[in-house]
Amino acid sequence: MTVRIGFIGVGGMAEHHIKTLQRIEHAEVTAVYDINQERSQEVAAAYGAKSFASSGQMFDSGEIDGVFICTPPFARGDIEEQAARKGIHILSEKPVGLNVADARRKEQIIRESGIIHTSGYCLRYLDTVAKAKAYLADKKIDLILSYRLGGLPGPRWWRMIEQSGGQLVEQSTHQMDLIRYLAGDVKEVSAIHEQRHLRNIDPEATAYDVGTVSFVMESGAIGNITSSCLANYVGRGGIEFFGHDFYVMVDIPTLRIVDDHQDITEVSKMDFYYEQDKAFVEAIRNNDPTLLLADFSDAVDTLEVTLAANDSAAVRQPVVLETGKER
């Protein structure tokens, strides 16, 4: 069976997925829709797909089995619900919206529909992350340090906090998600966000450009993620896990493990987007959601932690997360 794939939103990330899917057996990109219809037609022509005038028309067409949702975070509307109700499988790019209540409502509809569902937490697919997960499974983690330092992403919506959610929600969400994947849930966050320079670049920008969030894990471990989108001379994206008897560093694409018996460094050769997109295609072909390493619910859980950090930054107070979520 060939899995027919549609795209909603065909900007930079979507085009990368489309190119990746061209290398994946049993996958065919058949349909695209972008609110910018010129862009939609251009991408359709470049990749041999059909351009649609709305997401609804695409979902009603019977021409797709799965959909990649690649609109910016503020423009998710009811796309996931529409797809789920039509039985169309979903890969919804991170972050899956900017409001937890909306995302939880979508989660319920998606889960009840029985479709295959996942999000774009592609770093989970690295073999080095799998090794770190296996190593850390029986370890007592005490401290977690992480960074997301780099330059300013291109899209204008990115620098508007009401459209992107800010760097932690939109970008360092990858680090927060890996921390949750490797070390369990977060129960409390305390964040500081400041805008230091961004308005000199764009006078209307509302996002912060330096931010730090401290957190307490359900295990009792504590940690921190520090982010900046104006770190133009150094890039960092790693996560360090400290325990009294080990040290683990997960970077992209490097893994280091140090304990009394070893000091190993491995560099992954994997293309994590390829692995993720292939897993989605195979999960649809085989009707097997266990091939996917993150589902929509995982994405909502990570979103909830990062939005709680925004709440904390707004009031300069710690925020305690709800625990014991039902699945």
What are the residues binding ligand NAD (CB under 6 A)?
A: 8-14, 34-36, 39, 70-73, 75, 93-94, 120, 122, 155, 170
Q: Tell me the closest approach of the beta carbon of residue 263 to ligand NAD, in angstroms.
A: 30
Q: Which is closer to ligand NAD, CB of 13 or CB of 250?
A: 13
73 vs 150, beta carbon nearer ligand NAD: 73
Instruction: Write down the least CB distance from residue 147 to ligand NAD, Å.
Output: 16
Quick one: 122 or 229, whose CB is closer to ligand NAD?
A: 122
Rounded to a whole number of angstroms, the minimum distance from the CB of residue 227 to ligand NAD is: 14
Nearer to ligand NAD, 77 or 243 (CB): 77
Q: Which is nearer to ligand NAD, 179 or 221 (CB)?
A: 179
Closest to ligand NAD by CB, 222 vs 291, is 291
Minimum CB separation from ligand NAD for residue 121, in Å?
A: 7
Q: Which long-range contacts (CB under 8 A, 24 or more apart) does 255-264 make?
A: 255/128, 255/129, 255/131, 255/132, 257/131, 257/132, 257/135
Separation of alpha carbons 260 and 275, rounded Å: 33
Nearest distance from C-beta of residue 276 to ligand NAD, angstroms: 8
Nearest approach, Cβ of residue 119 and ligand NAD (Å): 8
Q: Pick from 94, 38, 34, 86: which is nearest to 64 by CA?
A: 86
Report the residue number whose CB is nearest to ligand NAD.
Answer: 11
State how far the Cα of 98 lies from the Cα of 75, in Å rounded to an integer.
Answer: 9
CA distances from 9 to 32, 58, 315, 319 (A): 8, 12, 34, 33
Residues 279 and 293 sit within 8 Å (Cβ to Cβ)? yes
Q: Hey, which residues does 145 pair with through a beta bridge?
A: 224, 240
Closest residue by Cα to residue 293 from 107, 121, 68: 121
